[in-house]
Structures are given as structure tokens and as C-alpha cells.
Amino acid sequence: MDTKRFSKLLMRSALSLAITATTLGGLAACSGEQKGIKPKADETAASVAAASDSNLLAQDFLLEGFDQGGIPASVQVNNGTANLVDDGAGGKALQVKLNLANNNSAGLIIQPAEAWDWSEYSDFNLAFDVANHGEESVQIDVTMGDKNGDFYTRGLVVPADGLSRTYYAKLHGHDQEDPEAAAQNEFNFASGLRSNPPTWQSDDIMLHSFWGKKLLDLSGITQISFGTDGSLSDRQYTIDNLRLRANPPMDENFLTGLLDKYGQNAKVDYEGKIHSDEELKKVVEEELASLSGKPNADRSKFSGWKSGPQLEATGYFRTEKFNGKWAIVDPEGYLYFSTGIDIIRLSNSSTITGYDYDQKLIPKRSADEVIAEDDQPLNRVDKAAWATRTLVSETRAKMFNWLPGYDDELGNHYGYRRETQSGPLKHGETFSFYSANLERRYGETYPESYLDTWQKVTVDRMLDWGFTSLGNWAAEPFYEQERIPYVAFADIIGEFGTLSSGFDFWHPVPDPYDPRFYQRSVVAAKSVSEQVENSPWCMGVFFDNEQSFGRLESDELHYGIVINTLTRDAADTPAKGAFTKVLREKYGTIEALNKAWNKEVKSWEAFEKGMDSSLTTDAQREDYATLLFEYGNQYFGTIRKAMKSVMPNHLYLGSRLPSWGMPPEIVKAAGKNVDIISYNLYEEGLVPSKWEFLAEIDKPSLIGEFSFGSDDQGHFHPGIVISADQKDRGRMFKNYMHSFIDNPWFVGVHMFQYMDSPITGRAYDGENYANGFVSVADVPYVELVKAAKEVHEDLYERRFGDVKPVE
């Protein structure tokens, strides 16, 4: 879901649980016969008995085969239909059709009347067969829940080719003697990857790990849901043979020797893989010969619509509602729509190597720093620390077939992370294969000359592909080229109070009522102002990213900031004092508040000290909504005041609200203060039913992140939204872009990200998604480039087609 994209995974969990919630009750146990094996009843019983004796499944144990006549009562479909169809082997399969054109989510749920108890089994997986006879690939998020309320979600994509494939999800690891070791090795705790490679080789397809508790209570599995959300059209698939299987023998080297010297998957070959420096040089020569480095003919100096009307020119980017559609207006007065790609920098290209250094020789972070750790450059350790290099994770170190010495020609691509958000190490050495490949591609005629070449080639690409801007987190040297507009970014970090929303994914949210928050906002604004230097090429500035403002699955998460703040003491929590003031002004007496909230607080003084904030009445819920809006208004208003005090000419682009964390009160508060509301949306595009509030807010909006990934280029995790292959990525890119270009409230769409994440995971959080426009060898993905050119060829005519062009 930078440090992104995992957040969308968490949103999907809410959707899956919501699907389940709508279909619970009155469901019966399922039964059936397995296709292909067709065991007799006594044989099935014998296999179960054998499994019980040894804790291993002697043969596949069928949960549902759909051959018993009629759809089982345990099967329900939300926003769709289910029908039995011939399976081609004399039995039946379940055809599921999902109404997604009119609904943001839909799915199949299988829930037994009594929870399944699989605790006696070990070393096994859940498998099922799926085929897609539709016209588009379909993503399915498989969520399993247990009797404790925990869940674990994995994802898969089914190509639209009509072929039946077997997909599986491990439920228990190979190590029967030491379950904790099995968890460490197979459920990502030791590897640090968002999703590991398979632990055995087969034609079956392992589901990609998404989110939730990986080790469920197998003594009580209450439901399995197959959810799909955020699609732009109806989808279908046929599912069959839901079964438990014993795991094949484990490949002891499944985490060993993963990468070659270019940072590519060393164990598989695929189209576009680089095998030698000579091959890489040839690829570079061919691409450079094809690049024009020029924008489309209908573009203005700042990539606006030169063929369209010319409005008031202010010398900077601004917004205006024109002919019923929100638009950005470029510095020369031309209509402008921002399209871009995020993460055009090296900061997120490095991966943890498994080595560390004497911490006494590593500079510590200070409260005065303005750049967050995951936004830092490679930050190679000082030479004095080299002699203390120590192996701290053999699992990580064995992933690499090659790493250079510090004195080697490519040793300058080592770095260091003083902090990590997640993964096997809290800090440690990193290496950037992407950066090393840039040096291989372009050579070095003076120190880091390859970076200067890369920056020029990258802008040439962006203009050649038709993009009108650089997305978030572009390296500062790109600002100096003055060839394509860009957006800037600032984290507000340092010493100030924080609050909890009850779901503090990246970190707790700021207390914007704390005077120190305004002071640090000014520091952040001054820092980004020094980078931008009042340039007209800067379209605007994002402050902060994906704050945990609240989730909508429950009142407790929706109003979590308010609920948790009210329990605190106003003496050390400025937000508590501000909330108390609002409530005293409304109710006057504590008795009036007690009556409305059904509470027994003795006095306002006691209220300020901390109180039971659990929700009990509708009046209380209304007040919490008011307080959440007041919080948002203070947060966005404080940043706006700080930014405009030093950067009055640039647009305030908000904080890129994640789709899982955008309570309506926060969106409304953002609309009151920002120039453009920004969102991160990891779905197939804009589903109208989910965005009806845009008309009420009536503010220009921008997508800060989206992506589509596939695993056909050697990656172990395609990303949050999965494509079947590179061609499918191109199709989905076009559909996504068009859905927002056609919307009157959106003024820009930025894709995440420029280069693939490292196959062995980003250093900061282990994200290993194949979601880039270019590979780790900096080779563009042909189908994405083709799609981008097609989208941008008629970008402005499509967006402003009802506007009469200039003759």
C-alpha cells in the first residue's frame, strides 16, 4: 500500500469480513465427493481415521465437491449468484457469477453449521480448483476465520482462459516437531517477505499472503470466504473440489539462492530477463535509440492542453471548475490533468542483506530530523564500521547468490537502515541491486555520473510515454530539470503529542492541538520549500501519508481517535482539552452530557481526567462524529497554515487518504482545508457506488497510488491488485486511468511505482511487490508502456472533449 501498499490489504480484510457478516446464519454442513479420486464412503472414513492416528492426511479429504445434488446450505453468494454446472468429469462444479458492476464487493462464502476442527492434522494445505470462462481475469481474496475471531487472507488471480488450475494455501507447516520453527520458516516471520516462494515445486499455484493472523486456531475454522472487490465489471468463475491435502516434501532450499547478481529471480527464466552485462548494454542501446524525450504535440510547456482554451495564467498551478469539471490550470493558463508514477528514487530500492554493524559506529536518528527513515537515501555506513560487519540473519544472507565487497566496483550501492517498520531485523545493512544495475547500464565517467544519465533518461521516458508529471517521492535532482512538473512531499515528524485510532498501522496519528505539531509542520514546510525554491514546475505538496484516521468496520474503529482520546487526561493531551471544550459549550452541565450519553461522570473536572468513552447512545455517536470532524479540521488546518506561511504559491495536496482509512468526517475536514483531496486506491478503478460522496464534497481530487502486478517475471508477490500477466497489467492500467479521467471531480492519477520492489523485500518493511513500470534492471515493461501511450494519446480530448479547441 511510499511504505505503501500493504495498507490496502488491510482494507480488503474488512470487505471480506463484511461479506461474511451479510450471509451468516442458518448454514448447514457441507459434504461431497472428490473429483478424480471418487472415494467410496468407507474409504473416505478410513483415510480420516488414518490421518487421525498419524496427524497426517493419508489422502485428500474432501470438504465440498458439489456432487450431492443441489447447492449445499453452507454455500452463500453475496451480490451474485451460484449455479451447478457440469465439471467435465461426470460430476458437478459451482459456477459463481458476481455482480460487481453495481457493487463494490461480492463473494462466495462457505460456512459449516459447526466449525471445522482440523487441529489433529499437521503438515497440510487447503486446495481447490478454479476456472474462469469469462472475458476478464478475476482476483479472489480467500479469507479463513477461526472461532476466536482471527482471520488470514491470501490472494489469487484466475486468468480468463477457461483452464482449470489448482490453487492452495498452507494451513500448517512442514516442521512437525517444532511448530514455531515451521512458522518462522514458512509464514514469513524469518524471511521478512510479504509472501514467500513456494516450499515445494509443482504446477499447483500457491496463494499470495496478504494480511491477518497467519497461524489460525485450526480447532475451530468457522468460514472460508472468496471475496472480490473494487472491480469495474461483472466477473465469474467455476470452483470445485475444496479439499485438505498433505504437503509434499519440503524443499529445504526454498529461501536459498533466490537472487542473481542483477537482483532477478535466479531460479527461473522468463522473457525480458537479463543474463549478462553485454545483454543489458544491448537493451539500453535499443531503448535509447527509440526515445524522443519530447512531450505530445498538444502539450504546453508544463504539459497542459495547448490545443484547449487558455484561462487566467498566474505563473503557478491552481485549480478551477471549468464546464462542470474540476481541473488543474497550469502556470500558463492551460487546462491540466496530472498523470505520474511514484517512487522515482533509490530510497526504496534497497533490501536487507542479513548483516549488521557495531551500533556505536552508526549515527542515531534525532528528533530534529525532517526526513523519515524509509525516505532516506542509501546511507552507506562509514568505513570505520566495516570491520565490525557481522552476520545476524543467515536466512537473509543465503537469499543472495552474489553480493560485492565494500571495496568492489559496485560496493558503493550498499546502504543502511537505522529503523525498520517490520521484518526479521530492526536495523541493518542494505544493498540496492537497482542502483547497481544503473551503474552497469550507463557506466561511470565521473562519480555517480550514471545517476545523471538515469535522471535524464527517466524524464525522457516519462515525456515519451505521455505522462504529465512525476508522482510522489521523486528524487530532488529531478526538480532541477524543469522539463516536467512534479509534486513534492514532506513528513511531519519530531517531538509532538500523538493519539491512537485503535488501528495505528504505520504509527499513531498526531495530536494537532499540541503547539509543537504546528512548529514541526512549519519545519517540514520550510524543508520542502528549500527543495522547491518557489519553482512554477512544482504542482503541489503532500504532507504526511496514509494516516490511520479510522476504519469503518465498527464504531470503535470509526471513532477510535475520539474514543481513545476521551480516556486520557487533558493535562497531558491537548486534544482532550479541545474535545472537552466543544462538549461543555454544547451541554453546559455534566448532568446534561450524562443524560445524553447514559454515563455517570461526576464533574467536568473528572471528565477531563479521563472517562469511560464506550459508545452507548445515538447522541454520543453524533457527538463523536462532530469531534472527529473537529480533529480533522485542526489537523488539515494546522498544516495548511504552516505550508501557506512559507509556500503561498503552491497547492496543498493533503495526506493521501488510504481507502481503508477515510471516515467521512475526515474527508469533509480535508475538503475544507486542502486545495486538492488525495486518496490512495488499490482497486481496479473508480466504482461509482463507493464515490457518491464526491458530489457533496465538491472538491478537486487526486489518486496518489494504485498499482497492478503479476508474478510472471520471477516475483513471489504480485502486489495488492493482481493481474494475470503483463498484457493483463496493461489492460487494467488503461481501465483504471480512464475511470478517473472520465470523472468530473478527479484532476490527477499517480501510479505506484516506478521500479519493482526488490524480490527479497524493501528494507523498511519487506514489501516485495512486482508493481513497477520498470524491472530491477531498469528495463521497461512493454505492455505497460504501450498502455500508457494509448491512454495519453487522447488524454485531454477524453477529459475535456466537450470544450471547443483553439483554432
Greatest C-alpha distance within the chain = 84
210, 717 Cβ separation under 8 angstroms:
no
Whole-number Å distance between alpha carbons of 349 and 370: 21
Instruction: Give the pLDDT score at 215.
Output: 86
If pLDDT is split at 50, 70 and 90, which confidence band does 324 have?
Answer: very high
Count CA atoms within 13 Å of residue 141 on its CB side. 33
Position 20 scores a pLDDT of 37
Residue 469: its pLDDT value, please? 98
d(CA 665, CA 774): 38
pLDDT score recorded for residue 190: 77
Cis peptide before 753 (omega within 30 of 0): yes
Residue 720's nearest CA partner among 3, 2, 210, 137 is: 210
Say if CB 479 and CB 486 are below 8 A apart: yes
The string over 161-179, giving b where at least 16 C-beta atoms fall within 10 Å of a residue's C-beta and e elsewhere, is eeebbbbbbbbbbbbeeee
Sheet holding 221-229, edge to edge: 75-78, 105-110, 221-229, 138-146, 151-158, 208-212
pLDDT 10s digits, 467-501: 999 999 999 999 999 999 999 999 999 999 999 99
Give 597-638 pLDDT, tens digit per residue.
Answer: 999 999 999 999 999 999 999 999 999 999 999 999 999 999
User: What is the rounded average pLDDT of the residues 799-806?
Assistant: 68
pLDDT tens by residue, 690-732:
899 999 999 999 999 999 999 999 999 999 999 999 999 999 9
Residues of the chain with pLDDT > 90, as a percent, come to 84
Q: Name the residue with higher pLDDT: 197 or 56.
A: 197
Residue 660 has pLDDT above 80, yes or no: yes
CA distances from 466 to 120, 297, 484 (A): 58, 10, 11
* Short-list 407, 451, 629, 645, CA closest to 541: 645
